[in-house]
Amino acid sequence: MIVGTVVGTVLIVAITVAIGVYADKKLHLAPRAEELATPPKPRGHAVGEAPATAIRAGAAQLANLRAGQRCKECRTVLVAAGVDEEIRYAERTLIVLHFSCPRCADVRRRSLYVEPISG
Ligand SMILES: [Zn+2]
């Protein structure tokens, strides 16, 4: 009878696991490994182009970001356009840098969202 009990237990465990796997596949209960590895990215905006994709930058990086933006059209280095804007987004304070292209100024304006960090 002991053998029967062991087989019964193994069967119950196997069935439980099978149901769990089935339910997981059907309902997508547990997050997949790849979902855990890469946090969801907001679609449609490149890094720094929207509050949701703000670049985390320290003072030195911020200076680099200010100096190193190029026009997507003509690759000319962009110049600052107006003063920095400070906005609140998702409980964080972001700086919005504004740029314009000296060659196609009227057409190509660009904003860069930066989340200042210390260091
Ligand atoms: Zn340009």
Task: Give the residue extent of every domain in the chain.
Answer: 1-39, 41-119
Residue 110 CA to residue 94 CA, distance in Å, equals: 16
Q: What is the pLDDT of residues 34-69, one digit of tens each?
A: 666 665 555 678 899 999 999 999 999 999 999 999
pLDDT greater than 90 at residue 30: no
- The pLDDT of residue 42 is 52
- Identify the pLDDT of residue 72: 85
pLDDT computed for residue 43 by the predictor: 62
**CA 110 / ligand 1 centre spacing (Å):** 10
- The helix (run of H) or strand (run of E) holding residue 115 is strand 109-116
Residue 119 makes CB contacts below 8 A (sequence gap 6+) with 58, 59
DSSP for 74-104 reads T-PBPEE-S--EEEEETTEEEEEEEEE-SSS
* Band of pLDDT at residue 1, cut at 50, 70 and 90: low
- Say how many Å lie between the CA of residue 67 and the centre of ligand 1: 15
